[in-house]
Structure 1
Amino acid sequence: MYDAILCPTDGSAGSDAAVDHALYLADLADASIHVLFVVDQGVAGASEWDMVVEREEERGERALDAVAEGGAAREIEVERHLRRGRPHEEILDAAGDYGVDLIVMGTHGRTGLGRFLAAGSVAERVVRHSQAPVLTARLRE
């Protein structure tokens, strides 16, 4: 059913839950995983841009490495991607660019007022605009 799965990560515990689901599904379906880290271009002012981008790219490489190691342990092909831009736009573009059948991503699991205040979340925007099915995984405490 799935040949290629896109798994965006930011290295957080919430995205780790999604990575676990993506690896499990890829193992079941004999699918490959495209793991994606997006350096958000809206996180810093011009004066500190280079330093912030460098720090975020290093964080991204660590997050991508962790997923690649998890895939290698299960003998799952993992392709690593680091992109710059607005996260929801880059995730949607990557899904099309890599021809994925499924997007598996984490969510913060907000409810009530917290969900209302964060209505522009990355996961929610991807769910609303994706052409591919999206599985959201929430960290259970």
Structure 2
Amino acid sequence: MSTYKHIIAGLDLSNDSKQIVEKAKFLADATKAKLSIAHVIEPLVFTYGGDIPMDISSVQEQIETQATKDLAKLGEEFGIASDNQFIVVGQPANELHAIATQNGGDLIVVGSHGRHGLSLLLGSTSNSVLHGSQCDVLAVRVK
């Protein structure tokens, strides 16, 4: 059985992110794997369908700046170097797949809230990451 060489934790930067990084770090330490953390920012144009009658580029920049700071703070707390921190703009599942492919990731760790009902039917980011991934995916149940 081979061990993991590069684990990528996909984070939404919510309060649950620490739980995900803790689990990913435990696995990375146990397998002596490299650990990276990643956050994907969905473009506001995607979120609001282009229906906003104003220039939102400065808002998008502020979101990216804050996300970079928040990810760096997590990186510092868990001893993850800045070159192993990724902030990208796009669709979360697609971008996490791309980060894993481009950086030799062989495990993507994401959080799962265990949604039911309508949320389950509409899908979730962790489900989207699972389907279409070329590497293993671990969904960590967050509290």
Q: TM-score, normalised by structure 2?
A: 0.83
Shift of 1:65: 1.3
Q: Is the 8 A contact 1:14 1:138 kept in 2?
A: no
Q: Return the index of the structure with the highest Cα Rg.
A: 2
Is 1:132 the equivalent of 2:135? yes
Shift of 1:51: 2.5
| Partner-residue secondary structure (3-state), 1:115 | helix
Question: Are the structure 2 counterparts of residues 67 and 32 from structure 1 closer, same or farther at C-alpha, using a change threshold of 3 Å?
Answer: farther
Higher mean C-alpha displacement, 89-98 vs 8-17: 8-17
Correspondence for 1:123: 126
Question: Are the structure 2 counterparts of residues 36 and 10 from structure 1 closer, same or farther at C-alpha, using a change threshold of 3 Å?
Answer: same
Q: Is the 8 A contact 1:104 1:134 kept in 2?
A: yes
Distance 1:114 1:10 in 2: 17
Question: Are the structure 2 counterparts of residues 19 and 53 from structure 1 closer, same or farther at C-alpha, using a change threshold of 3 Å?
Answer: same
* Matched ranges for 1:1-141 at <5 A: 1-41=3-43, 42-44=46-48, 45=50, 47-72=54-79, 79-116=84-121, 118-119=122-123, 121-140=124-143
Distance 2:34 2:77 in 1: 12
Q: TM-score, normalised by structure 1?
A: 0.84
Amino acid at match of 1:95: A
Question: Are the structure 2 counterparts of residues 25 and 70 from structure 1 closer, same or farther at C-alpha, using a change threshold of 3 Å?
Answer: farther
Aligned-residue RMSD, C-alpha:
1.9
Shift of 1:69: 1.5
Q: Unaligned 5+ residue runs, structure 1?
A: none
Distance 1:27 1:70 in 2: 15
* Percent of pairs with identical residues: 30
Q: Is the 8 A contact 1:11 1:59 kept in 2?
A: no
Q: Unaligned 5+ residue runs, structure 2?
A: none
Shift of 1:33: 1.3
Shift of 1:11: 0.8
Shift of 1:4: 0.6
